[in-house]
Amino acid sequence: MEYIYAFLWRIKWMCQKEMLSTLKDPSTRAILIVPVIVQSILFGYAATYNLEQVPYACVDQSHSRASVDFLAKLDGTKVFYRVETLLNANEIANVIDSGKALMVIHIEPDFASHLEEGERGNIQVITDGRNTMTASVASGYLNRIVDDFNRSWGGNLDAIRLETVTWYNPNLITRWNFLPGLMGLLSLIQVLLLSGLSVAREREQGTFDQLLVTPLSPAEILIGKAVPPLIVGLTQATIVLLICRFWFKIPMAGSIFPLYLTLIIFTLSCTGIGLSISAISSSMQQVMVYSFVLLLPMVLLSGLATPVHNMPYILQILTYADPLRFALESIRRIYLEGCTTVEIAFNFLPMLVVAVLTLPLAGWLFRNKLV
């Protein structure tokens, strides 16, 4: 009992010191908080595949009622706006190359006659493929307008009607999907750097030796070192959460408990990775480079911007070592889908494994690093 008390007492001081030395400097405090706010707002607006405006140009060689009607319908939407009306097809290249128009609609001379004769009235559409995603989203929009046009032009010919319902994100807004993910991403960067630098800085400044001659055990040092990144990570995640909820007004379906449970487990595993990096590095510069080199693949493999199932099988297996992947998945599902702890419990496992492997490793390396 007394032993436990002494243990807790020392941990209390260790944590207090770590918090103080991390957060004492006002510029560090500022750099940990302000960019998170700015970034989540900025990136929240930036992260969207939802085209609000499609600049297009058209070449109408048909000059028929049908073609004029069609273009009028297009112009009547809020999304499509015409930037240029071209006179012949030779000008198409220029409009697309310069990026002036995302799409060129080319209506050929026989368009109307084909339509009248009951054949297909073909419209050539040229999209700018330099950004594949945008191009396919735009043609998706166009197709829907064409369906509409067909119905009003020739009456409903379609035998099959498709009714689409989207669960959890009715309008398929990318932001809804991206912002909860940002909770994980932004805290990952800081947690990795903070925990990575904490030991390396002490080594570089010589304070680590002083720490090692005290009765503090590696476990106590480890806990002390893990607490500030944990708290900073959770604070940053909370800031992003508040911005999601109150600035972007993304409805939150799940509850706070599983969300924070996920965040804690996630931050813990990141701290483990950071501390391990710290323990093997000999300078602060190495820590920063290593964390950075690790960070990019972690983000790419996490499914933040591109879905995990699109990856080849081998890479999908690799993602099991990436805590960010499971954190993102869990956070999104809790936030948007309203999953309970039990439903996402499986996602905790890979993160816990990472934490269980890296944290003791880091603790062991504190004392046994060969330099």
Partner 1 sequence: MTDAKIILAEHLTKEFPIHRSTRKITALHEVDFSVLKGTLTALIGPDGAGKTTLMRLIAGLMEPSAGQLLVLGMKTQGNEQNIQNRISYMPQRFGLYEDLTIQENMNLYADLHGIDKNVREERFSHLLEMTGLKNFTERQAGKLSGGMKQKLGLACTLVRSPELLLLDEPTVGVDPLSRRELWEILQQLVKEEALSVFVSTAYMEEAALCQEVLVMNAGRLLKRGTPADLCSIAKGRCYKAWPKANMPTRILQTMLLDDKEHVVDAVPEGGAVRFIQQNEKEKPRPELNAEPVEERLEDGFMILLHQDKRKHEKNSLSKKNKIFFSGEYSLSEKVDIEVRDLVRKFGDFTAVANTSFQVHAGEVFGLLGPNGAGKTTTFRMLCGLLPITSGFLRVAGVDLRTARTQARANIGYVAQKFSLYGNLSVRENLLFYGGAYGMASKRLKRRMEEVLEEFQLNGQEDKAAGELPGGFKQRLSMAVALLHEPKILFLDEPTSGIDPLARRDFWRQITVLAAKGTTIIITTHFMEEAEYCDRIMIQDQGKLLAIGAPQEIREKVGTKEAGMNEVFIKIIENARERKRLGEKYDR
Partner 2 sequence: MIDKVADGFCRRLKALIYKEFLQICRDSSSILIGAILPVVLILLIGYGISLDVKKVPMAVVMEDTSPTAQHALDFLNGSEYFSPWYVYSMNEAKQLLKKREVDAILQVPPDFSEKLQKRQSSLQLILYGVDSTTAMAVQSYIEGSVRQKNIALSKSVFPQKGRVVIENRMWFNDANTSTWYFVPGLMMLIMTIVGVFLTALVMAREWERGTLESLFVTPVKLLELLLAKIIPYFCIAMLGFGLCLFTAKFLYEVPIHGSIWIIIFASVLYLFTALGLGLVISAITKSQFLACQVSLIVSFLPALMLTGFLYDLRCVPEWIARIGGVLPSTYYLDLLKSLFLAGNNWTMIIKNCGVLTLYAIFFLGIALKVTKKKVG
Give the footprint of partner 1 on residues 90-129 (CB under 8 A). Answer: none
Residue 1 interacts with partner 1 (CB under 8 A)? no
Evaluate whether 268 touches 192 at the Cβ level (below 8 Å). Answer: no
In this chain, which of 33, 211, 261, 318 binds partner 1, going by CB under 8 A? 211
Tokens of 176: 């809804």
C-alpha 267/C-alpha 226 separation (Å) is 9
Nearer to partner 1, 206 or 312 (CB): 206
Give 179's contacts (C-beta < 8 A, 6+ positions apart).
40, 44, 47, 240, 243, 244, 248, 250
The sign of the torsion formed by the CA atoms of 272, 274, 275, 276 equals: positive
In this chain, which of 31, 212, 293, 349 binds partner 1, going by CB under 8 A? 212
For residues 309, 314, 320 and 323, what is the CA-based torsion angle, rounded to 10 degrees? -70
In this chain, which of 306, 317, 345, 367 binds partner 2, going by CB under 8 A? 306
Residue 326 interacts with partner 2 (CB under 8 A)? no
Evaluate whether 55 touches 100 at the Cβ level (below 8 Å). Answer: yes
Residues of span 54-113 touching partner 2 by CB under 8 A? 55, 66, 70, 96-99, 102
Candidate ranges 3-11, 232-240, 266-274, 331-339; the one touching partner 2 (CB under 8 A): 331-339
Residue 14 interacts with partner 1 (CB under 8 A)? yes
Nearer to partner 1, 187 or 278 (CB): 278
C-alpha 236/C-alpha 32 separation (Å) is 8
Q: Which does 256 bind (CB under 5 to 8 A by kind): partner 2, partner 1, none?
A: none
Q: What are phi and psi of 210, to 5 degrees?
A: -60, -35
Residue 25 interacts with partner 1 (CB under 8 A)? yes
Residues of span 166-205 touching partner 1 by CB under 8 A? 205
DSSP 229: H
Q: Which does 87 bind (CB under 5 to 8 A by kind): partner 1, partner 2, none?
A: none
Burial zone of 53 (CB within 10 Å; 0-12 exposed, 13-18 middle, 19+ buried): exposed
DSSP 339: -
Candidate ranges 6-14, 69-77, 239-247, 289-297; the one touching partner 1 (CB under 8 A): 6-14
Residue 210 interacts with partner 1 (CB under 8 A)? yes
Candidate ranges 183-191, 214-222, 322-330, 353-361; the one touching partner 1 (CB under 8 A): 214-222
Residue 176 interacts with partner 2 (CB under 8 A)? yes
Evaluate whether 108 touches 124 at the Cβ level (below 8 Å). Answer: yes
Tokens of 330: 């869990």
The binding site for partner 1 (CB under 8 A) comprises 6, 9-10, 12-14, 16-17, 20-21, 24-25, 205-207, 209-217
